């Protein structure tokens, strides 16, 4: 019983985090959003670079910048309200 309650709470927390992340991603420019979505889906920098016809180092720099932008959005009050 206790394990079921913990699992339900973890699932709810996971859904809330996913919803918050999705909302925060919507504030990013399309190029940054696409890069982060590709990385979150499990693609490597190399795979992203091939798909977008970019250098791997360019993808790494742009993902880094996108993550910084996402962090700013997540830290802002706007990210809290869906």
Q: What is the pLDDT of residue 17?
A: 84
What's the predicted TM-score (pTM) here? 0.77
Question: 19 exposed, middle or buried (CB, 10 Å; 0-12, 13-18, 19+)?
Answer: exposed
Q: What is the pLDDT of residue 46?
A: 99
Condensed to tens digits (0 to 9), the pLDDT of residues 3-17 reads: 565 576 666 677 888
Condensed to tens digits (0 to 9), the pLDDT of residues 51-77 reads: 999 999 999 999 999 999 999 999 988
* Spatial distance between the Cα atoms of 16 and 72, rounded to a whole number of angstroms: 19
> Is residue 65 within 8 Å of residue 32, measured between CB atoms?
yes
Fold classified for 2-80: Arc Repressor Mutant, subunit A (1.10.10)
């Amino acid at each position: 019983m206790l394990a079921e309650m913990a699992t339900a709470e973890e699932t709810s927390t996971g859904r809330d985090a996913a919803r918050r992340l999705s909302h925060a991603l919507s504030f990013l420019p399309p190029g940054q959003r696409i890069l982060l979505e590709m990385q979150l889906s499990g693609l490597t920098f190399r795979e992203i670079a091939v798909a977008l016809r970019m250098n791997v180092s360019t993808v790494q720099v742009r993902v880094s910048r996108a993550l910084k932008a996402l962090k700013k959005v997540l830290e802002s009050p706007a990210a809290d309200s869906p």
